[in-house]
Amino acid sequence: MPAVKRVALGMVGPGLVGAEVLRQLEATKDILKANGMDVTVSCISDLKEGKPWMLCKESWITLDEVQKASYADGEAGDLAKMADYLKSIAPHAVIFDTTAAEPVSNMYATWLKKGCHVVTPNKKVGSGPLARYNECQSAVKDSDAIWGYEVTVGAGLPIMNILKKDLLQTGDKVKKVEGIFSGTLSYIFNTFKPGMKFSDVIADANGKGFTEPDPRDDLGGVDVARKVCIIARECGMTVELSDIPIKSLVPDALKDWKPKEGENMRDAFVTEMAKYDDEKTALMKEADEKGMVLRFVGIVDVENKTCEVKLDMYPKTHSFAGTQWADNIVAFHTERYVPQPLVVQGPGAGAAVTAAGLYAELLKIVDQVH
**Per-block mean pLDDT, blocks of 10 residues, the chain (370 long):** 87 95 96 95 96 96 95 96 98 96 96 98 97 97 95 91 97 98 95 96 92 94 97 98 98 96 94 96 97 98 98 97 94 97 88 92 93
The reply to whether 170 and 95 lie within a common domain is: no
The reply to whether 341 and 356 lie within a common domain is: no
Check the CA dihedral 180-133-100-156 and report its sign: positive
The reply to whether 69 and 167 lie within a common domain is: no
Q: How far apart are CA 353 and CA 193, in angstroms?
A: 28
Count of alpha carbons within 13 Å of 40, Cβ hemisphere only? 20
- If 0-12 CB within 10 Å is exposed, 13-18 middle and 19+ buried, where does residue 236 land? exposed
Listing DSSP states for 104-141 in one string gives HHTTHHHHHHTT-EEE---HHHHSS-HHHHHHHHHHHH
Structural element, H or E, at residue 313? strand 306-315
Q: Which residues are catalytic?
A: 227
Listing DSSP states for 229-244 in one string gives HHHHHHTT----GGGS
The reply to whether 61 and 88 lie within a common domain is: yes
The range of the structural domain enclosing residue 127 comes to 5-155+352-368
Supply the pLDDT for residue 1: 54
Instruction: Give whole-number Cα distances, 84 to 7, 91, 167, in Å.
Output: 14, 12, 36
Q: What is the largest CA-CA distance in the chain?
A: 68
Number of domains in the chain: 2
Q: What angle do CA 247, 251, 255 make, to 5 degrees?
A: 95
The reply to whether 170 and 304 lie within a common domain is: yes
The reply to whether 12 and 142 lie within a common domain is: yes
What CATH number is attached to the domain comprising 299? 3.30.360.10
Q: How far apart are CA 21 and CA 366, in angstroms?
A: 16
Do 97 and 120 form a contact (C-beta atoms < 8 A)? yes
Q: How far apart are CA 59 and CA 242, in angstroms?
A: 44
The reply to whether 315 and 205 lie within a common domain is: yes
Q: How far apart are CA 225 and CA 230, in angstroms?
A: 9
What CATH number is attached to the domain comprising 58? 3.40.50.720
Supply the pLDDT for residue 158: 93
Do 188 and 201 form a contact (C-beta atoms < 8 A)? yes
The reply to whether 188 and 224 lie within a common domain is: yes
Supply the pLDDT for residue 2: 64
Do 177 and 235 form a contact (C-beta atoms < 8 A)? yes
The reply to whether 189 and 223 lie within a common domain is: yes
The reply to whether 150 and 179 lie within a common domain is: no
The reply to whether 314 and 197 lie within a common domain is: yes
pTM for this model (two decimals): 0.95
Supply the pLDDT for residue 210: 87
The reply to whether 128 and 179 lie within a common domain is: no
37 DSSP β-pair partners: 5
Supply the pLDDT for residue 191: 97
